[in-house]
Amino acid sequence: MIFHCTPISRFASFSPLSFFSSLSPLSRGIRLGLVCLVTALGALPSPCVGQHPPKAGFSPTNTPRIPNLRKPIIAATPLSISSVQTHMGVLMPAGDLAARFGVAGQVGLEFGWIARGKWLFGGNITHLFSSSVREQDIFSNIATESGDIITRDGVFEDYRLRMFGWLMSARMGRLIPIDPAKPNRGLSLELGIGMMQHKIRIETPVLNSPQLSAEYKRGYDRLSNGLCLSPSLGYIHYAPNRRINYFIRLEGHLAQTRNRRTVNYDTGLPDHRLRRDALWGLRAGWILPLYRRAEKEVNFF
């Protein structure tokens, strides 16, 4: 075997082309294949875009939110809303009614409808009550000089006088939005027409007096009723989340009433003069809305 020594000067002029040309065909093929394999592995793309490691400053809170297309958002447009309402308040008597009763309370139920956020329609029934009765001389024919009533047992009757009445009306009005962007809340101007009724309720817990039996009480209770007009100015609030819905209202009730009993037992005379009764006060209530939405009023984002 003869070895040939290559001078060092030949390595100084080394190049890849001359290196591959000096190899045997088999060696050149193996080496070329390895070079191509390494190059191909380095040029492979990443398997999936979502599998890259997070970049600096990345956090899950920075990811774009996917909207929930199943959750509708109501546009700020006037709606037609039906509602059931409960209310309570306080009323001050005026006119002829002020000579009979003092400050009165009220509780009741209402039904309302707003037509496209503009017109108001509805009706209500209200119970009137008070423990302040100023007309105390209704038993002048059966009471003692001190105003007491003697029972069949010879003792004083324990009786109490109360106001008991009703207000019933149908009403119509206008809703005036304060903010154009919130058309379903604002000032309300309304006028109602209906009936007012009131009487002196005579309560006898023991009921041991024949002169105050249920039949005879009708001759002393001053039952009166008549036509009533009810103007009001208030504020109506319908919340976007439908949870806080209420109204507050300054109102008046002007009525022309008459005594409906044939005769008053204390005087022995009929009393059918025209009375001018009035009530002024404040009413506040909670609204249970029954929304009706058209398809075009629901937007998805």
> DSSP per residue over 162-177, as a string?
EEEEEEEEEEEEEEEE
- CA 139, CA 126: separation in Å to the nearest integer? 29
pLDDT of residue 152: 82
In sequence order, the 6+-apart residues with CB closer than 8 A to the CB of 106 are 87, 88, 89, 90, 91, 126, 127, 128, 129, 167, 281, 283
What is the per-residue pLDDT across 77-129, written as a single tens digit (0 to 9) for each?
667 888 999 999 999 999 999 999 999 999 999 999 988 778 999 999 999 99
Which ranges of 218-271 would DSSP assign to H, the alpha helix? none
pLDDT of residue 249: 96
- Whether residue 8 lies inside any domain: the answer is no
Give me the residues of the chain with pLDDT under 50, please: 1-6, 8-12, 14, 20, 44, 46-52, 58, 67-75, 294-301
- Whether residue 111 lies inside any domain: the answer is yes
pLDDT of residue 195: 97
Question: Is the pTM above the cut of 0.75?
Answer: no
pLDDT of residue 198: 97
Closest CA to 195 of 269, 276, 255, 128: 255
Structure tokens given for 172: 């119509």
Structure tokens given for 43: 């040029």
- CA 116, CA 122: separation in Å to the nearest integer? 15
pLDDT of residue 51: 47
- Whether residue 239 lies inside any domain: the answer is yes
Closest CA to 83 of 236, 249, 281: 236
Three-class SS state of 207 = coil
- Whether residue 56 lies inside any domain: the answer is no
Into how many domains does the chain fold?
A: 1
Residue 189, domain extent = 73-299
- Whether residue 179 lies inside any domain: the answer is yes
pLDDT of residue 72: 39
Q: What is the DSSP string of 39-62?
A: HHHHTPPPS-GGGSPPPTT--GGG
Contact 245/298 with Cβ under 8 angstroms?
no
- CA 147, CA 141: separation in Å to the nearest integer? 10
Contact 106/94 with Cβ under 8 angstroms?
no
What is the per-residue pLDDT across 141-171, written as a single tens digit (0 to 9) for each?
888 888 888 888 888 888 899 999 999 999 9
Closest CA to 255 of 140, 98, 143, 124: 98
- Whether residue 104 lies inside any domain: the answer is yes
- Whether residue 32 lies inside any domain: the answer is no
- Whether residue 22 lies inside any domain: the answer is no
Classify residue 194 by burial, with Cβ atoms within 10 Å: 0-12, 13-18, 19+.
Answer: buried
Q: What are phi and psi of 62, to 5 degrees?
A: -85, -5
pLDDT of residue 58: 47
Tokens 């009724």 sit on residue: 197
CATH code, 241: 2.40.160.20
